[in-house]
Amino acid sequence: MKRALVLDFGGVISRTLFETHALSEQALGLAPGTLSWRGPFDPAADALWRDMEADRISERDYWMARTREVGRLVGEEWDRMETFVRRARGADVASVIRPEAVAAIEAAKAAGCRLAVLSNELDLFYGEDFRRQLPLLAAFDVVVDATHTKILKPDARAYRLCTDQLGLPPGACVFVDDQRRNIDGAERAGMQVVHFDVKQPAASYRRALDLLGIAPMAHRTPD
C-alpha cells in the first residue's frame, strides 16, 4: 500500500520565528535582543505562549498579538500576519527552510511515498504568492490550507480533507506537527503521528521516516 508523509508547515518545514529573531531584527532595523519572546524555547518567559498552550487563546491569536506588537516597534500598525512574515523574513524564503525537512522530503519522495502539507495558515501567514517562491512545495502532491478551507486542525474534517485528497486511509499517513492539539486530532482521525520537537528537528524527522519504513541509512540529517 502507498504511504504518505503529511507535514505541518510553520515550525516543521520552516524554522520558527523564534529561531530567527536575529534575522528579523536585522531586517526590521531593530536593535539586537529587542525580540525577547521565545515560545517553546523559553515558555516560562513567554506568558502569551503559555496561554496558547493552555488553549486560552488560539495559535492565530498568539501570532496576531505578536504581529501587532512588532508592528508598533517599527512605528506601524500591522493587522495581518503576512505583513510580519514578509517584512521579517524578506524575499529569500528558502533561507528559513529546515535542511532536515528538505532531506526528509527527498527521502520520502525517493521511497515512493506521497507528500502533503496540512496547514492552518500557510497563505494567511506567508502570502498567496509564497508557493511560487519556494520550489520545494512543488514536490507535494497535496496542499490543504485552512486559509482557504476554513477548517482548522484539530477539527476531524481537516484531516479527512487531506487523506481524501491523497486517496489513502488515515492509517497509511504519518502526520507531523509541532502543536500537541493538532497531534491529538490526527490520532483521533486514525493517522500515525510524530509530535515535532522544534529543538530536535533531526530526531523528529527520523521518527517520521522510521514510521514510513524508510531505512535509517536513507535519511541521514544533521542534528
pLDDT at 219 over 70: no
Assess whether 207 and 131 both reside in one domain: yes
- CA-wise closest residue to 100 among 15, 217, 10, 212: 15
Bigger pLDDT: 16 vs 128 = 16
The predicted pLDDT at position 89 comes to: 80
pLDDT at 215 over 80: no
The predicted pLDDT at position 95 comes to: 80
Indicate the residue among 93, 117, 142 that finishes a domain: 93
Q: What is the pLDDT of residues 106-120, one digit of tens each?
A: 999 999 999 999 999
The predicted pLDDT at position 216 comes to: 55
As a residue count, the chain comes to 223
Task: Find where cell 501570532 sits.
Answer: 63
Q: Residue 102 falls within a domain, yes or no?
A: yes
Assess whether 193 and 121 both reside in one domain: yes
Order across the sheet with 142-145: list the strands.
Answer: 142-145, 114-119, 4-7, 173-177, 192-195
Q: Mean pLDDT over all residues of the chain?
A: 92
Q: Residue 223 falls within a domain, yes or no?
A: no
Report the C-alpha gap between 10 and 129 in whole angstroms: 16
Helix (H) or strand (E) holding 174: strand 173-177
pLDDT at 159 over 90: yes
The predicted pLDDT at position 90 comes to: 66
Q: What is the pLDDT of residues 19-68, one digit of tens each?
A: 999 989 999 999 999 999 999 999 999 999 999 999 999 988 999 999 99
Report the C-alpha gap between 119 and 170 in whole angstroms: 17
Q: Are 196 and 12 in contact (CB under 8 A)?
A: yes
Confidence of residue 165 (pLDDT cuts 50, 70, 90): very high
Assess whether 199 and 156 both reside in one domain: yes
Task: Find where cell 524554522 sits.
Answer: 15
Indicate the residue among 72, 93, 114 that finishes a domain: 93
Assess whether 62 and 130 both reside in one domain: no
Confidence of residue 221 (pLDDT cuts 50, 70, 90): very low
The parent domain of residue 208 ranges over 4-15+96-218
pTM of the predicted structure, to 2 decimals: 0.89
Assess whether 34 and 105 both reside in one domain: no
CATH code for the domain in which residue 117 is found: 3.40.50.1000
Domain tally, the chain: 2
Assess whether 164 and 186 both reside in one domain: yes
